[in-house]
């Protein structure tokens, strides 16, 4: 049984853009399924945020052959990514430092890399982005940047990266950007964009350029990727004359007690609608503890101080790259032949890595360096082995 709000989303007839602001647990997916069922004669593209969402959506939409389920990156990969798969990876300042022949080469390379990421998140061409950069229309946190010098460098390096037979590392967001700039056309009647509060201007531009009707669905107040260039498309697109905004506010998951607390903050944030909880109070016997940290180095530090506990590592302990600590130790002890990480192989000694972290404000590597210095006398390989031995399935873990 759908709520009145869900029925309104399912039955609405709109010309171009439908925005659905859906609070937590309000039946977003079930609403979209019914939306697609009502339009069985239409070709529908459901754009999921990541591969885990793809797997979940494929199960739920499997009875709807008119619905194609993709990530936006998978569409771009088929056109630009697959032909560059040998060089896909994480672009670093070291990869482009050679293009700066000045005393501040590493700093300028780091600044340019940051601008490249901003450009890839934008809906602009490289020429338009550089013009905005020079005309102060793009807000730059670092006021030290010599924009007159870096703007042409940015354009030069971007063209080198996308050049045929280029050997420069090619991040996944770069082939998405190339695809956006190629102005792709998608043959669908409707395009559904899930988690719309966490997409960037590049994705927004791709979707808006399509002739299909567009549905952006998400929760403005669950936006968590602004630090990666995401914008809340629900708020941004609501300002367009050809957009309609609907809401899903009745939660099937959160009890009234939780909703009342949430509403205190939603009111302070200027929410247009209150969050409505279920009448059934939350029943839970869960006693587990979850540890969240800004980076993996902090998790390592916490785990080492909890060797009397059994730990479940979400995604498996190998996904936390603790082997990087061994490579940093080998760099410190001048044993380059034992370094496995391709990025760390680019540094001649530990001082160069320290300089890199200072210039780029690289939080992850700085954290790993501090961990190595902290535990250097305690046999880091042994500590990693102990953590591996103490790793257990979630049901058996203390945390």
CATH class of 4-77+179-248: alpha beta
Q: pTM for the whole thing?
A: 0.83
107 is in an annotated binding site: no
24 is in an annotated binding site: yes
Tens of pLDDT, residues 331-358: 999 999 999 998 899 898 999 889 888 8
Domain ranges of the chain: 4-77+179-248, 90-169, 296-390
Q: Residue 249 above 90 pLDDT?
A: yes
Question: What's the 3-state SS for the chain?
Answer: CCCHHHHHHHHCCCCCEEEEEECCCCCHHHHHHHHHHCCCCCCEEEEECCHHHHHHHHHHCCCCCCEEEEEHHHHHHHHHHHHHHHHECCCCHHHHHHHCCCCCHHHHHHHHHHHHHHHHHCCCCHHHHHHHHHCCCCCCCCCCCCHHHHHHHHHHHHHHHHCCCCCCCECHHHHHHHHHHCCCCCCCCEEEECCHHHECHHHHHHHHCCCCEEEEEECHHHCCCHHHCCECHHHHHCCCCCEEEEEECEEEEEEHHHHHHHHHHHHHCCCCCCCEEECCCCCCCCCCCCCCCCCHHHHHHHHHCCCCCCECCCCCHHHHCCHHHHHHHHHHCCCHHHCCCCCHHHCCCHHHHHHHHHHHCCHHHHHHHHHHHHHHHHCHHHHHHHHHHHECCHHHCCC
User: pLDDT > 70: what percent of the chain?
Assistant: 96
Computed over every residue of the chain, the mean pLDDT equals 90
Tens of pLDDT, residues 160-219: 999 988 999 999 999 999 999 999 999 999 999 999 999 999 999 999 999 999 999 999
Q: Residue 226 above 90 pLDDT?
A: no
229 is in an annotated binding site: no
127 is in an annotated binding site: no
Tens of pLDDT, residues 304-324: 998 888 889 988 898 999 999
Q: Residue 139 above 70 pLDDT?
A: no
Banded pLDDT at 371 (limits 50, 70, 90): very high
Whole-number pLDDT of residue 27: 93
28 is in an annotated binding site: yes
286 is in an annotated binding site: no
Whole-number pLDDT of residue 287: 64
Whole-number pLDDT of residue 271: 92
Length of the chain equals 399
């Amino acid at each position: 049984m759908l709520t009145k709000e869900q029925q309104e989303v399912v039955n609405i007839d709109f010309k171009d853009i439908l925005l659905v602001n859906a609070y937590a647990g309000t039946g977003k997916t079930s609403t979209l399924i019914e939306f697609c069922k009502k339009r069985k004669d239409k070709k529908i593209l459901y754009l999921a945020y990541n591969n885990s969402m793809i797997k979940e959506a494929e199960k739920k939409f499997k009875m709807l052959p008119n619905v194609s389920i993709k990530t936006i990156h998978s569409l771009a990969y088929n056109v630009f990514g697959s032909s560059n798969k040998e060089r896909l990876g994480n672009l670093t300042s070291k990869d482009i430092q050679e293009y700066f022949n000045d005393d501040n080469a590493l700093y300028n390379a780091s600044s340019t890399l940051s601008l490249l990421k901003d450009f890839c998140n934008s809906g602009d061409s490289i020429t338009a982005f550089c013009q905005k950069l020079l005309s102060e229309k793009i807000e730059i946190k670092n006021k030290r940047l010599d924009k007159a010098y870096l703007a042409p460098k940015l354009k030069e390096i971007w063209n080198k990266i996308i050049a045929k037979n280029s050997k420069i590392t090619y991040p996944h967001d770069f082939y998405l950007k190339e695809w956006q700039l190629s102005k792709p056309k998608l043959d669908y009647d409707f395009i559904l964009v899930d988690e719309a509060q966490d997409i960037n201007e590049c994705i927004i531009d791709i979707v808006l350029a399509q002739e299909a009707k567009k549905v952006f669905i998400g929760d403005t107040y669950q936006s968590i990727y602004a630090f990666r260039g995401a914008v809340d498309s629900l708020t941004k697109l609501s300002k367009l004359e050809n957009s309609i905004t609907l809401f899903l506010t009745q939660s099937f998951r959160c009890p009234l007690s939780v909703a009342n607390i949430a509403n205190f903050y939603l009111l302070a944030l200027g929410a247009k609608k209150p969050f409505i909880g279920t009448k059934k109070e939350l029943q839970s016997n869960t006693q587990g503890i979850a540890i969240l940290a800004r980076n993996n180095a902090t998790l390592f530090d916490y785990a080492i101080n909890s060797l009397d506990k059994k730990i479940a590592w979400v995604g498996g302990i190998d996904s936390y790259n603790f082997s990087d600590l061994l490579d940093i130790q080998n760099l410190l002890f001048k044993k380059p032949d034992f370094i496995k990480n391709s990025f760390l192989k680019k540094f001649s000694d530990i001082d160069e890595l320290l300089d890199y972290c200072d210039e780029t404000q690289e939080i992850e590597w700085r954290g790993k360096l501090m961990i190595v210095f902290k535990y250097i006398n305690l046999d880091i390989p042994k500590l990693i082995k102990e953590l591996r031995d103490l790793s257990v399935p979630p049901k058996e873990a203390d945390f």
